[in-house]
Structure 1
Amino acid sequence: MPGCGKVYLIGAGPGDPDLMTARAIRYLSKADAIVYDRLVSADILALAPASALMVCVGKEPRRHPVPQERINDILVELAGEHATVVRLKGGDPYIFGRGGEEAIRLVEAGIDFEVVPGITAAQGLSAATRIPLTHRGLAHGVRYVTGHCKEGEPLDLDWMSLADPDTTLVVYMGLANLSEITSRLMAHGLPASTPVLAVEKATRADERRLIASLDDIEERARQAGFRSPVTFMIGRVVGLAACFGLEIPAIKPQDLEAARA
């Protein structure tokens, strides 16, 4: 499409602005229009030019005020009006970020684009807590899965392969379906005693952490009043938390009151 602007699909990382790449910050600083979701922190949005058009297309679990198809069209429309359009996504645009769908739409419309990778939540929480995703003798691999599907569709995962004690399993967006996820994993052989790390708002100033076993993480997270975004690390590597002096704060009375509200 002659005369169109260029779209940058940028990974904003897990929340801490210091974890953004230099390339991401450079393109963001030149943006004429920015399309962002609710996982992009306020600290990162503050890096945008004051003159940039800001378009919020935030999504929440089971609530998508702007359908993905409309977001795709918005990017095409903005590219026809602005030279530099930034699509800012939490984490990495190609890891559960729907970036592939947006990229395909841009190709169909003949619009030039570039993908700027970002640190995904799994890497962010691993670094923040010092717990490695893989570790010799404990985990010879790591798998990332999403904990939710399109509304109305069942959570159809390969539970047998996911219930591998030699692999670290990271579950994105799994808070709403945590009871089903844990019960399915245990039903397919993953020990109930498997340690689980839950991190709310990983790498942000208001980050919260919780460690429990597979059979009680759902109850503990509910009692603590955890709210999305929460990422779960499941596997024996979580047992290394004590080696790094990781202190998990006790559940506070106000957390319990928030959960009951």
Structure 2
Amino acid sequence: MGQVALVGAGPGAADLLTLRALDRLQAADAVVYDRLVGPEILARLPAGCERYYVGKACGEHSVPQAEIGERLVALARAGKRVVRLKGGDPGVFGRMGEELAALGEAGIEAEIVPGITAASGAAAALGLPLTDRAHAQTLRFVTAHQAREDRLPDWSALARRDETLVFYMGLNRVATICEGLTGAGLPADWPVMLIAHATLPTQQTRVGTLDTLPALLEAAPMPSPCLIVVGSVVTLYRDAQKTTRHALVDEAPAS
């Protein structure tokens, strides 16, 4: 029986892989990887390593989750050292639980190798604190995609001024998010930021408010994947630009 490691590839930049993640990649016989794993990371794989792409993207055909589990099981039963490579951290909106269940039902043990999640990587790249004593004592990660399409977040529980919200996979639901939060009590001028391609040279940002962000996005579309950061910590972004040199990405000066 082979081995399976569920490995977090980090937010995008190859040099943000952990040492353990790199070790598992370089020892792999087969890698099953997602859309958010870039070519610089795949270049770390050994010659002859089998590669299986199972990426998911909104509006595009994707490999069903059950089929991914079946492939992991089949590769492990073939005696291979398997890496299931996921963008960010495998336990943060990465369906890790479903894949562990598939492996467990087949009697295959799995190792979990954590990775830097997109929110942490993006915030570091921008010099943006996700928590701050004067702004936010709580940080909450929220998925914009529910298991059921008709299920919406509890906006009243999210509409707090003393915390930072980071929505994952929310690019196509910006208007719904902004309307939900303002409808639950956050002010229309509450700060919000969009971050695309976190930690990569192609990283982009948009800074606005809950009432202006949908129009900003319509006028200047952003690529996917995209994070939505909501909270007064966003006001610290410009100050961070003035005082901090960021090692992860070089952005053009703010106009």
Scaled by the length of structure 1, what TM-score is found? 0.91
Q: What letter matches 1:204 in structure 2?
A: L
Alignment length, in residue pairs?
A: 247
Q: 2:229 aligns with which of 211, 226, 233?
A: 233
Q: 1:171 aligns with which of 167, 189, 210?
A: 167
Aligned equivalent of 1:25:
22
Output aligned runs, 1:113-152, within 5 Å.
113-150=110-147
Does residue 1 of structure 2 align to residue 7 of structure 1? no
**CA pair 174-132 structure 1, distance change in 2 beyond 3 A:** same
1:143, distance to aligned residue in structure 2 (A):
0.3
Scaled by the length of structure 2, what TM-score is found? 0.93
Q: 1:154 aligns with which of 150, 153, 165?
A: 150
Aligned equivalent of 1:206:
202
Q: What letter matches 2:100 in structure 1?
A: A
CA RMSD of aligned residues (A): 1.6
Q: What letter matches 1:96 in structure 2?
A: F
Aligned equivalent of 1:100:
97
1:83, distance to aligned residue in structure 2 (A):
2.6
Q: What letter matches 1:177 in structure 2?
A: R
Does residue 26 of structure 2 align to residue 47 of structure 1? no
Query: Which SS does the other structure have where 1:78 is aligned?
Result: helix
Aligned equivalent of 2:246:
none
1:248, distance to aligned residue in structure 2 (A):
7.1
Q: Deviations over 1:47-89 (max 9, x none)?
A: 1112100000010024342011111111001111243100000
Aligned equivalent of 1:259:
none
**CA pair 189-248 structure 1, distance change in 2 beyond 3 A:** farther
**CA pair 133-73 structure 1, distance change in 2 beyond 3 A:** same
CA contact (8 A) 2:126 2:241 kept: no
Q: 1:215 aligns with which of 207, 211, 221?
A: 211
Point out where structure 2 has 5 or more consecutive residues left out of the alignment.
243-250
- Find the aligned partners of 2:89 and 2:226 in 1 and give their Cα distance: 16
CA contact (8 A) 2:127 2:241 kept: no
CA contact (8 A) 1:13 1:120 kept: yes
CA contact (8 A) 2:90 2:114 kept: yes
- Find the aligned partners of 1:234 and 1:113 in 2 and give their Cα distance: 35
- Find the aligned partners of 1:81 and 1:50 in 2 and give their Cα distance: 19
Aligned equivalent of 1:254:
none
Does residue 75 of structure 2 align to residue 78 of structure 1? yes
